[in-house]
Amino acid sequence: MLGVIGGSGFYSFFGPEARSVDLDTPYGAPSGPVTLGLVGDHEVAFLPRHGAGHEYSAHTVPYRANMWALRAVGVRRIFAPCAVGSLTPQWGPGTVVVPDQLVDRTRGRDDTYFDSGGVHVEFADPYCPMLRAAVTGRPDVVDGATMVVIQGPRFSTRAESRWFAAAGFGLINMTGYPEAVLARELEMCYAAIALVTDLDAGVEVGSGVRTVDVFAEFTRNIGPFKTLVRAAIDRVAPERSCTHCLAHEGVELPFELP
């Protein structure tokens, strides 16, 4: 089964024919019910990252519960659409970018399932190459960028934004971590699909990021963005063959994966 985690403004993916499943996990309840439906020949599980009504801000999203719930219903490969700011002037609002690296600038988030057992997870390349390829083959998608993930809920100062841009980061986001590493710990393939909603504070003199503008831009693009996600799903092979994201080969885990 494939999974889709919807970001800000991406709260639904199926029509009324979808089946909704309420789940609980050892880490509490996920952000909302998981809905199950079909995209082409693929069975797909959808979960709104922030809740169906955006009840959770980026720093309060129950990331561990979300990822555990998706694996529990059978998901092994995940597309993660998200809203991002651009730190690169040529990537204006409406641009779709598939990052290939991330930098964690969050703090205090529960970012592992292995609080015991001495398990270490390889994470040099945080995104699944096969899932990335299913999206980056489209001519209207930018292939590759480093996404810096900040704590939120506030946006960056202008100095912070310029600092991130000077370091070579291309995108800025609040939810891409710990989602990606939790997927790796659960041996699920994971790829982010980033929709640029704004130029960050340091990119343009006099500009700044406002929540109302971010949501307005996402709303303007949500139709084509969902179409792109469905097209990516159609390009995914029926059977999973990726070994890149199988992080625990030869390792004895302190618990069984769901």
Q: Tell me: is residue 54 an annotated ligand-binding position.
A: no
* C-alpha span between 177 and 156 (Å, rounded): 17
198 tagged catalytic: yes
Q: Tell me: is residue 235 an annotated ligand-binding position.
A: no
Let me know if 213 is exposed, middle or buried by CB neighbors in 10 A (0-12, 13-18, 19+): middle
Identified catalytic residue from 140, 198, 213, 234? 198
Strand partners, 79: 4, 191
Let me know if 221 is exposed, middle or buried by CB neighbors in 10 A (0-12, 13-18, 19+): buried
Q: Tell me: is residue 240 an annotated ligand-binding position.
A: no
Q: Tell me: is residue 107 an annotated ligand-binding position.
A: no
Q: Tell me: is residue 198 an annotated ligand-binding position.
A: yes
Q: Tell me: is residue 174 an annotated ligand-binding position.
A: yes
104 tagged catalytic: no
Q: Which residue has the tokens 């971590």?
A: 177
Q: Tell me: is residue 41 an annotated ligand-binding position.
A: no
Q: Tell me: is residue 8 an annotated ligand-binding position.
A: yes
Q: Do 112 and 181 form a contact (C-beta atoms < 8 A)?
A: yes
Identified catalytic residue from 111, 115, 125, 200? 200
* C-alpha span between 62 and 111 (Å, rounded): 10
Residues within the annotated binding site for substrate? 174, 198-200
Catalytic residues: 198, 200
List the binding residues for phosphate.
8, 49-50, 175
- Summarize the annotated binding site as residue ranges: 8, 49-50, 174-175, 198-200
